[in-house]
Amino acid sequence: MDMKKQKIVAVLLAAGEGKRFGSDIPKQFVTVNGKSMVLYAMDTFNAHPMIDEILVVCHAGYLSFMDEIRQSGKYEKFKHLIKGGKERYLSTLCALQYLVSQKDTKKTGTTYLLLHDAARPRVSESLIREIVEASRDSAIVVPVVPATDTIYKVNAKGILVEIPNRDTLFHAQTPQLFKAEILQAAFDKALLDPLFSPTDDASMVFHYLPQEQIQLVQGDPANSKITQPEDLSPLFST
């Protein structure tokens, strides 16, 4: 794609409860080394030359906290702040609908959403660059890392039924990049399906728009997701 005619909006998904983390507050707002976890990814996106704007989809209880940060002027690309949904997919939908409503095609051309979990604080400049550059040839780009453990497939009774070839298995990461119109088309179909079972955004597109090519790029092992408190040590050891 012609990058000059596109708007790349980093969507920082920070609306989750993070109950498995076991904290009194959502994990993305836990202070790590003197800074809220959500701000680590914010720093990277704000400094990246390929990112035009940042939208934060926020937990309702922390809207005022994030609005103070937005108004501080420290993050000049942090333009938008909205309340998220009860489920992750609803937060993505909120971001998509908000950006579509704000879009001025005469000024911005096509909008691309770079959806990122706030609980992945160590996203790198180089990974963002690789994803955005890959979007020249594909409207959907997802970073992945190879599965390192043997994966078992079991039936409803917990009986092993298959051991897939590990060489063909990968773990999906974020940020995941989508052309806004394609993501909207996938949601239009998914929300009409009474059996819709949300996983990640790329999986939804794969299921409802199978004709769309999803480009995979090499992810980063350091770009791991914080789920439990012990996950912090490997990422913040220095």
In a domain, 155, yes or no: no
pLDDT at 103: 64
Dihedral class, residue 73 (left if φ above 0, else alpha if ψ from -120 to 50, else beta): left
Give the model's pLDDT for residue 105: 47
Q: What pLDDT score does 71 carry?
A: 94
Tally of structural domains, the chain: 1
Confidence at residue 116, expressed as pLDDT on a 0 to 100 scale: 97
List the structure tokens of 81: 């702040």
60 falls within a domain: yes
Strand pairing class (6-14; 110-117) = parallel
The reply to whether 102 falls in a domain is yes
Residue 162 lies in a domain: no
Domain that includes residue 61, residue range = 3-144+171-235
218 vs 89, 142, 145, 172, CA distance in Å?
A: 24, 9, 6, 10
Residue 104's pLDDT is 59
Classify residue 196: in a domain, yes or no: yes
Higher pLDDT, 199 or 70: 70
Q: What is the pLDDT of residues 7-50, one digit of tens each?
A: 999 999 999 876 666 567 888 898 888 899 999 999 999 999 99
Q: Whole-model pTM?
A: 0.90
Q: Is 25 exposed, middle or buried (0-12, 13-18, 19+ CB in 10 A)?
A: middle
Q: pLDDT tier at 238 (50, 70, 90 boundaries)?
A: very low
Residue 54 lies in a domain: yes
**Does residue 156 belong to any structural domain of this protein?**
no
Q: What percent of the chain has pLDDT over 70?
A: 88
pLDDT tens for residues 53-63? 999 999 999 99
% residues pLDDT > 90 (the chain): 71
List Cβ neighbours of 81 (8 Å cut-off, separation of 6 or more). 55, 56, 58, 63, 66, 67, 70
Contact 186, 204 (CB under 8 A): yes
Over residues 158-198, the pLDDT tens digits come to: 999 999 999 999 999 999 999 999 999 999 999 999 999 88
Q: Give residue 129's Cα distance to chain centre.
A: 15
Least confident residue range of 68-82, 123-137, 220-234: 220-234
Considering the domain boundaries, does residue 27 fall inside one? yes
CATH number of the domain encompassing residue 180: 3.90.550.10
